[in-house]
Structure 1
Amino acid sequence: MAASSRAQVLRLYRALLRESQRFGSYNYRTYAIRRIRDAFRENKNIKDSEKIEQLVNKAKANLEVIHRQVTISQLYSMQKLVIESPGNT
Structure 2
Amino acid sequence: MKPLDAVEVRRWLQANPDWAASGPAARLLAPGRPVPRGVPARAVPPELAVLLPLFPGYRYLAVGPDLALVGRDGAVASILPGAFRP
**TM-score normalised to structure 2 length:** 0.28
Higher relative contact order, chain-length normalized (CA < 8 Å, sep 6+): 1
**TM-score normalised to structure 1 length:** 0.27
- Return the structure number with greater helix share: 1
- Return the structure number with greater strand share: 2
